[in-house]
Amino acid sequence: MPNRTQEWTRPSLRTPGIFIFGLVMAPCGWVLNLTATVAPNWRTLEEPNRPPNEFIEQGIWDICRSVTTSTSSTCGLDDDTYFGNDIIEVAQGLMVASLVVTLVGLAVAIPGIRCWKERPNWVVAGLGGILIFISGVFTLIPISWYTHILEDITTETEIETVSVGYCIVLGFIGAIFEILGGFVMFIGICRCCGGKNRGEVRVEEIGPSRFTSRPQAQPRRVDVPSLSRGRSPAPSSVPYIRDTLDDDISFPRAKSTGPRSINTSYSGRPYDADL
């Protein structure tokens, strides 16, 4: 008995949920990673013999001195020892590479989704998901490494206390967003879970009658009685004739008297009422 190939179809043209999830998570992760890359706050240092409200913020591109009572900061501080650490060079390269790869992944995934078509290009969209997944890994590596050796990174500044900056937190969240979004988009390459990941169903489960075009029903003809009445053959500006008007009167009318004759001669005897 020959093997019958199963046919799959999509009941609607809506974008699959895995692509919606990936297209939301990836841009959000990119924005968070961009903030973590350019902001100079990977770790915060407090120096001894300095005011308690003053601290130093160290990033991978710049070092700033700030105070808690003011929003202004003094940036551009020199620290060759800090920027000479291996983690700083690795973080600079991987963070920039992550931003670029995320944009490339979105540029590849969007044409593959083709939400206006009947079936997306699953291979192209999955390739974009792989690139987004790799960009999240590129971010996660320097963030994790920097956090692991947070107190061991050398610097010219005397250190009293070391704390994690907000860039580390944003980098972790952005990396997780991109990894999840890319992985979910990638699972669309293969059909699994009964086609639910692609939003597809088997044709025999629905029946071919659902997809065949139904003949359009002809409009039912309704006979409406004509209300037009006959008109006199003579042209007239009045839209009815007198006979029709007389027939429509439903109340009795006084009998009209005949025409009164006017006599020019009078031979009778005059009365007082005639004077």
Q: Which of 129-143, 196-210, 235-249 has the highest mean pLDDT?
A: 129-143
For domain 10-206, give the CATH number: 1.20.140.150
User: Is there a contact between 58 and 168 (Cβ–Cβ < 8 Å)?
Assistant: no
Q: Which one is predicted more confidently, 265 or 157?
A: 157
Q: Is 151 helix (H, G, I), strand (E, B) or coil?
A: helix
Q: Dihedral of the CA atoms 51, 56, 57, 62 (nearest 10)?
A: 140
Contacts (Cβ under 8 Å, ≥6 apart) of 158? 47, 48
If you average pLDDT over residues 52-78, what whole number do you get?
84
For the chain, what is the total number of helices (H) and then of strands (E)?
Answer: 7, 7
pLDDT for 90-109, tens place per residue? 999 999 999 999 999 999 88
The amino acid sitting at 147 is: T
State the average pLDDT over residues 175-194: 78
CA angle 94, 139, 96 (to 5 degrees): 40
pLDDT band at 209 (very low <50, low <70, confident <90, very high): very low
Please indicate, yes or no, whether the overall pTM of this predicted structure exceeds 0.75.
no
Average pLDDT in the 182-205 region?
Answer: 62
